[in-house]
Structure 1
Amino acid sequence: MADRARHIALVTTTRADWGILKPLACALRDDAGIHLSIIAGGAHLSAAHGATVSEIETAGFEVAFRVPMPLNDDTPRGAGHALGTACAGFADAFAELAPDMAVVLGDRFEILGAATAALMARVPLAHLHGGEASEGQIDEQVRHAVTKMAHLHFPAAQAYADRIISMGEDPARVFAVGSLAVETIRNEAVLEWAPIARELGMDPARGVLAVTYHPVTLADDHGVGPVLALGEALALFPDMQLVITGVNADPGSSAVAQGMQRLAKAHGTNARGRAVLVPSLGHARYLALVKAAAAVVGNSSSGIIEAPALGTPTVNIGPRQDGRLRAPSVIDCAQTPNAIAGALTQALSPAMQAHAARCATPYAGDNTCAQIVDALKSVPLEGLLIKRMHERSVDDMRANVSAVELVR
């Protein structure tokens, strides 16, 4: 048994999480002590979201199991049915593959389905990017639910590790490793923007903004209103080109997507404010866009994590990312045209451009990928499924609450 390679199932459901997980997948595949199986589901298998499973296969990986989910109904009922389908599909995947451990990232509702299926299949769960906060969306509750179902934790910052421990998790199972996305940016060359711009029909010599706006799932209108405000604000910067990326498959996504399509069409008719809407750029091309952009504008976590690591300012609109650690290059603003325009003016200023180019990110780690692989290989499986509440004294808990509040 000791000589057998440990079987790790890596779960991915979107273009965004695959972009982060890809270097980990490469390291696991190339390690003689690991047998890797990739389970792909959700938006990866949806033509409306770019059928991004092809990115996994193009990278040289075989998808061991596919978990399709109905993503055409973005009502609460539809999302609930999709979650139930996800849970059933991942249950089939774990039954067929019988991995020693499963790895999931983040906080999307599909990941809750994977975690629940792993729990019922008695498959130990390793969770990346736990302990964070995003108070404007249901992902906040999903993330913490997955934390309580997980057996190993790989948060992207020490403050998030502290939060996980404050939730009763064993400190010996919590590894503050930093963000894989930040490590990838530091270790790998980012693609040149010019050929990508020309492919999109844009002028590489002109300024460009990366516009990434997703549903705010706890808002009554899911964030449709702010899309109109965003469009009004962007109209004040006619010299900037706009690359607008596709909307996540979240509750309320169809209305937000329609709003972004109207925004792209309105700005695309103006030769001085030319816009292009791209359902999926792919992770590597998206990083090239962010690095070349004068600013990232919207409410995506990529503006909080990836953009500062690439030296690009971020205009973060509204409450979707409330609670996350921020670099000084992230400018938060209200969901009004004037607030967005003011924040964008600040982001485009020479002072902020210079500041963003040299500011530090709170998500940097030390050999992030290697630390994760080492833990996945070396943590004993025997007894791993048993989780005991890590009891702490009242004084320790109060001290930790004070530390965690610094994240806000």
Structure 2
Amino acid sequence: MLDLLNAQLARLQAHRFYAGRLPHSIESAAAFAERVPLMSRAELVAEMNRPGYGAFAPVVPPVRVHLTPMGASLVPILHSANDLRAIEDACGQHLDACGVGPGDVCMVTFGYHLFVAGLFYQTQMEARGVACIPHGPGETERAARVARQCGVTVLAGNPSHALKLIEAGCPVPRVFFAGGEPFTGNGALYARVREAMPGTLLIDSYSLSECLPVARTFPGSEGVHVFDELLYAEVIDPDTGALVEEGERGELVLTHLKKELQPLLRYRTGDLTVLERTAPVHGRTVSLPRVVFGRADSMVKIKGVKVYPSELKTVLLGMKGATGAYRLVVGTKDHGGDHLTLEVEGPVEAAAIETIAERFKRQTLIHADRIEAVAKIESGALVEDIRRQTT
């Protein structure tokens, strides 16, 4: 990995965005973290909104430009021919591992308009000799009919939509590529898909428009493994920017290792995850065992522990009666110390409350003093911190 990092550092010495900001080489991962500055999404947006894409002006003509929403902006994401070939090669190795190749027929039900997922799956399948049906989302009955007509063996799309396709008569695929919503992290949804596709190889994935692809389930692995021929992954404390220990939750930071256009170094994704190193799984050793489970924004310290409110959405996934809306109320106990109440919207039964309590403690590493089911949670902040209202 150090060789790949040093090669990218050497390539970017004269890059308009990075010139004067990078070491010529590093001798360790710790040195890379110490000497290469973090990059924010705001910096990327600012440059891409400048005439000619500012300091990210393409050094070779792009062959693909797709747009991704970032705040109020639609930001162009640029790919050169070499960039696309590198992506196709990495994904091709994954398809080989999954036994997908010539003779297979893949229906892609991801979107194609602005968002890149549909085209991304189509091109990697075609590059490996797989027949591809670029159907897109919706039109469930028609999609199921087309899948039967064309003998679909591979399906790529949103898991919830895939369930509707199976119910409508779509053939059960040999391999299903999931995306667009939490999958392995949503036990109830994953169980429903497994029941509907009992013999299917189920593949979870995580990607960003700016870093495509990031990680996927490989046969024989848990969670997702990073495409570390394309990306170097780190996890930092979102508050301090310092690296966290392996297995601790924090913000995912990504570095392109080969990207020709719009290369990103130590790019803060804003996504919360846990990173672990494993024995090689089809050559990959960097795992995100829980994929991503929240955003590194609006951190609040409760009982001495950093809690990221958005990470709690995974605690409620699949809970019967829970609408998904929630709020943390943080107060002070009579004898001092923090008192934490988790309010959950919906008619949640006592058994589910117990499960939520267990999940909450496992996710945040602290105990909720009270979990309360409420009829309605008004929109607003995820945290009501009434400690600041007391003297």
Is this a same-fold pair by TM over 0.5?
A: no
TM-score, normalisation: structure 1: 0.31
Higher strand share: 2
TM-score, normalisation: structure 2: 0.32
Higher helix share: 1
Higher RCO structure, 1 or 2 (CA under 8 Å, sep 6+): 1
